[in-house]
Amino acid sequence: MVRTAHLYPLIVATALLNACTTSSPSSTPPDGRAGFRIDLATLDGDLAAVQAERDTDVLLLSFWKTTCTPCKGQLSDFEALHRAYAARGLRAYAVNIDEPAQRAQAQTWVDRGTWSFPTLVDADTQVVTRYNQRGACPFYVALTADGEVLRSHGGYVKGESDELARFLDQRLPPAPPGGG
């Protein structure tokens, strides 16, 4: 009887944990495979998913702040990469990590920018903290469709995206016919 009494809290905790864990149908990509996904807000406050469409996709997240001049250079370079590699499976995202007081300036900054990939907000900085423990800005991380880190880099030097382009040439499949 004493042994059973010790197991009771464990059984209750396990049951509660299982009851609180849900699997959302939206967490499965359209092709049916279970996939990696990060949900972040857009600048408008809507929820958007960072996820791959195909197993061969590369997710490129560029973390930036409105007070970071080099961030604008990196985002401009990534726009060129996005245009060159989107048909081959590059999924690029600009992820704002401003403090709430500066976040209002982000929309103005984006409106002046020339990038066409989605701009998201990591309001609680959980995503950037997961991949960028040193706090570099700008910072980018390239992930597989399953969320494994392929490469990451803090800081920005003009032209450094050439190395990333060579990596993407090797990593991504050829563009589908008529896909650019």
What pLDDT digit, counting tens, does each position of 97-113 carry? 998 888 888 888 888 87
Task: Answer yes or no: are the C-beta atoms of 49 and 28 closer than 8 Å.
Answer: no
Name the pTM for this structure.
Answer: 0.78
Domains present along the chain, CATH in parentheses:
38-171 (3.40.30.10)
Query: Residue 13's CB: how many other CB atoms inside 10 A?
Result: 10
Rounded Cα gap, residues 69 and 76, in angstroms: 12
Note the pLDDT tens digit of each residue in 21-53: 222 333 444 454 447 999 999 988 899 999 999
pLDDT at 18 over 70: no
